[in-house]
Structure 1
């Protein structure tokens, strides 16, 4: 699913109107109908008051249609009309259509006292849309502050008013408890800095033209902001298994993980390699970890380092279809040289995580040794160590994309909506996963999943997209069964099978 700029979204609306021979008002009805359906699912009690705060643009027009549709479902709905400026044509038309509907409309003009809103009412924010080109100021900024100070539950139409869809937040913004985003996702939804502004959010789809067929009008390929990982597409990328396949068919993975005191990282990552479908796994571990691995994870073969506590001498790598390196290995001087040796000798894509990333950050010359199309999986602090600090999320995504393209790497930036930048300049966001996965070892599990997929012959970009999606989906299934608070990394690994099954549905 494409993620478009505000300008591209406006062009797509116009293309839909032309292609389907409908009016802009009819398209507004589509959007408001979809919003109303989602809203009534969240708030099924029509006796609960609803106050729709509308501006004079098309976002306000959406709000006016929503008010009319809620009234038709017998909701106790009223409208606060903020007279911000000249009405758009569709806003004017829908304002006229409110007459005779039995909907109370309170006019709010600059300088008026703030309207009273019952604390139990749901406030629907339809003040400003994605076309807002500058921060809200003056009286209307004070209105946003007033709404935020109320105890009411706030629902945003498309995006919270004042929130930029394409860049960092500037100026006041409605703090939504729920955002029902219309049509296609906006880049702002995925920015960690916007989490408290958006509340929970979900995408509310309705029929639009296909943006991929509108290159001259909407922009194509790299002109798109990004793409959202979609289960319907990813399910079709899963490899089929046949009757005479065997463990050799599914690849031999090699995992360099663990040190004295951190062998759990090796166990979790190793289990994830095989649970992701790899046929064979060899783990390189220090001598002190041998008994731990043999007892806790008998399915793995072990190569034991000469050093008791750390990985220092890693032998021949030619037998392995993929390598995962980094979880729990530490950053001792001898381990640094071991990482350097692996990077310089292995020519296929590998997965680089955790301590291996920190080693590369401390020794930048190692970046040039990484095999092309390898997967790096930093969290934000590791990303900053590798590539420098950025001012905001949007700048970090730009750096992520540039670094991936310049170095021929797949950069997996682990956040609530993990982003994947590819050597071709694409940027993907992942919708699965939950806060319960913010616990020790889940990153090691992701390393294992990605390494296991590479071993099976998935190309690096597909491995990244599938791996991140499956890892997050397994976490969602585990949280649904166990609760987010109870979740452990091992629960994520143990639910990978259910995740595969669900993705194949």
Structure 2
């Protein structure tokens, strides 16, 4: 799914009106019906509904929603913010329709004294300000937001929580943003919904289709994308009848150190479950029996060191290489990693301690092979590229890093963010909080390595791997819950994840 900036979405709205064609008031009616339908199906009909409408189109949506809810005999009161200026455009029509319907209590807010007290057992529908907002709320608008947030009522925001910007909120006033329980957004999620610091404002978000014209969407270029099952399914290669283990590549995993062999075991098992033909796990001497007993399907390459990775084996016979899980940062390991980078392997996944070693030796960045895949969590990325004020700023640094060094970067977390050297950005749609557990990242490394060895491109191996990893987590959480989920559960559910994609 394409993702767009708020300015682009406004342009798609205009193109839809031109191409369909449809009047703006009718497009507003279509969008408002989707909101009203969701509310009718999901709320307690005995509760009073307070709708807050601003002066723009978001307010126009709220007015239309109130009329539609009244048709279903829901108890609604509309509070329209009045800045002393007359309404313009479509909101005027919807205000007049409400007056003619005469089933909704209509109030205006023109001062702090006229802001209503909202009971806890109420539903607030927030239609104060939409995605066109370009400055922080202040004055009366800010006070209304603060009163709504203090109420304890269930808050549903139309399209975007009032006060939140659609992309960068680094200069916003965070005390002047609605804290929604649910956000019902039109056609596409906003970029800011995908950043963790905005979760307290957005709550649970749902995308509602409003019939924006497919040609308008197709014509609008964007670097941003949201991974979907249909998109990923189309990338899975079918297996030919006469395939053999050599067909699906030979992966080399360099992982583990004394006391951290679990990371090597998890990454090895995940690599095998991802469909690789052959896997060799390179481990220190102390890890030999562990890997042989835990992963009998893998071959083993033994490092000269008893405790850590210290020497690069012959890499000429491997289809792809993964390095990092449980590696440690000893001096001999650092020099061995540098030697591996200097050997310029054509397909490489770098994770965990290998990333931490890189961040301590930033002059090695130029040694990174083109299209190498780096999988840091946010703190590891901060070590690589420097601190960021918020996720939007971090995304800009991630894009710059990918472009400068011609590498793919996966910043792991909820809606893991993937940046490509050509400037494309992908956000993941799968996964859950249960995956925030030790070893989860090692599993992702193994999955991507296995796909990379099977001759998937670096881009496709990354996109498929991230999506599969999250899907396996979702399947596991469905069976055992998020609290008890451990990294091994991701591996045991990878087969089911593949079946879902097939």
Between the aligned partners of 1:213 and 1:197, the Cα distance in structure 2 is 27
Counterpart of 1:15 in structure 2 is 15
Between the aligned partners of 1:445 and 1:49, the Cα distance in structure 2 is 48
Which of 192, 203, 207 lines up with 1:203 in the alignment? 207
For residue 72 of structure 1, report the CA deviation from its aligned partner: 2.0
For residue 478 of structure 1, report the CA deviation from its aligned partner: 0.8
Residues 284 and 309 in structure 2, CA contact (< 8 A), matched pair in contact too: yes
Between the aligned partners of 1:154 and 1:411, the Cα distance in structure 2 is 36
Partner SS state of residue 144, structure 2: helix
For residue 240 of structure 1, report the CA deviation from its aligned partner: 0.4
- Could you give the per-residue CA deviations for residues 155-182 of structure 1, whole angstroms, max 9, x where no partner exists? 1111100000021151210011111111
Counterpart of 2:316 in structure 1 is 318
Partner SS state of residue 248, structure 2: coil
TM-score relative to the length of structure 2 = 0.96
Counterpart of 1:396 in structure 2 is 394
Between the aligned partners of 1:175 and 1:422, the Cα distance in structure 2 is 33
Match status 1:327 vs 2:328: no
Partner SS state of residue 249, structure 1: helix
For residue 375 of structure 1, report the CA deviation from its aligned partner: 0.4
Counterpart of 1:64 in structure 2 is 63
For residue 192 of structure 1, report the CA deviation from its aligned partner: 1.5
For residue 391 of structure 1, report the CA deviation from its aligned partner: 2.1
Residues 345 and 369 in structure 2, CA contact (< 8 A), matched pair in contact too: yes
Between the aligned partners of 1:101 and 1:375, the Cα distance in structure 2 is 61
Counterpart of 1:173 in structure 2 is 177
For residue 212 of structure 1, report the CA deviation from its aligned partner: 6.5
Greater Cα offset, 12-21 or 106-115: 106-115
Change (3 A) 1:213 1:3: closer
Residues 68 and 101 in structure 1, CA contact (< 8 A), matched pair in contact too: no
Residues 83 and 107 in structure 1, CA contact (< 8 A), matched pair in contact too: yes
TM-score relative to the length of structure 1 = 0.96
The alignment of Structure 1 onto Structure 2 pairs a total of residues equal to: 497
Counterpart of 1:345 in structure 2 is 343
Residues 71 and 101 in structure 1, CA contact (< 8 A), matched pair in contact too: no
Between the aligned partners of 1:74 and 1:111, the Cα distance in structure 2 is 30
Residues 118 and 148 in structure 2, CA contact (< 8 A), matched pair in contact too: no
Residues 280 and 300 in structure 1, CA contact (< 8 A), matched pair in contact too: yes
For 1:65-464, what aligned pairs fall within 5 Å after superposition?
65-84=64-83, 85-99=85-99, 100-169=101-170, 170-171=172-173, 172-210=176-214, 215=219, 218=220, 220=221, 224=222, 226-464=224-462
- Could you give the per-residue CA deviations for residues 406-428 of structure 1, whole angstroms, max 9, x where no partner exists? 21110111121111110111111
Greater Cα offset, 12-21 or 61-70: 61-70
For residue 443 of structure 1, report the CA deviation from its aligned partner: 0.4
Gaps of 5+ in 1: none
Partner SS state of residue 259, structure 2: coil
Greater Cα offset, 283-292 or 68-77: 68-77
Between the aligned partners of 1:86 and 1:283, the Cα distance in structure 2 is 71
Gaps of 5+ in 2: none
Between the aligned partners of 1:89 and 1:133, the Cα distance in structure 2 is 20
Between the aligned partners of 2:379 and 2:134, the Cα distance in structure 1 is 32
- Could you give the per-residue CA deviations for residues 347-381 of structure 1, whole angstroms, max 9, x where no partner exists? 31210000000000001122111111010011111
For 1:16-35, what aligned pairs fall within 5 Å after superposition?
16-35=16-35
- Could you give the per-residue CA deviations for residues 402-461 of structure 1, whole angstroms, max 9, x where no partner exists? 211121110111121111110111111111111111110000000011101101111111
Residues 16 and 216 in structure 2, CA contact (< 8 A), matched pair in contact too: no
Change (3 A) 1:78 1:113: closer
Residues 6 and 131 in structure 2, CA contact (< 8 A), matched pair in contact too: yes
- Could you give the per-residue CA deviations for residues 319-364 of structure 1, whole angstroms, max 9, x where no partner exists? 1111110000000000001111111114312100000000000011
Partner SS state of residue 251, structure 2: strand
Partner SS state of residue 398, structure 2: helix
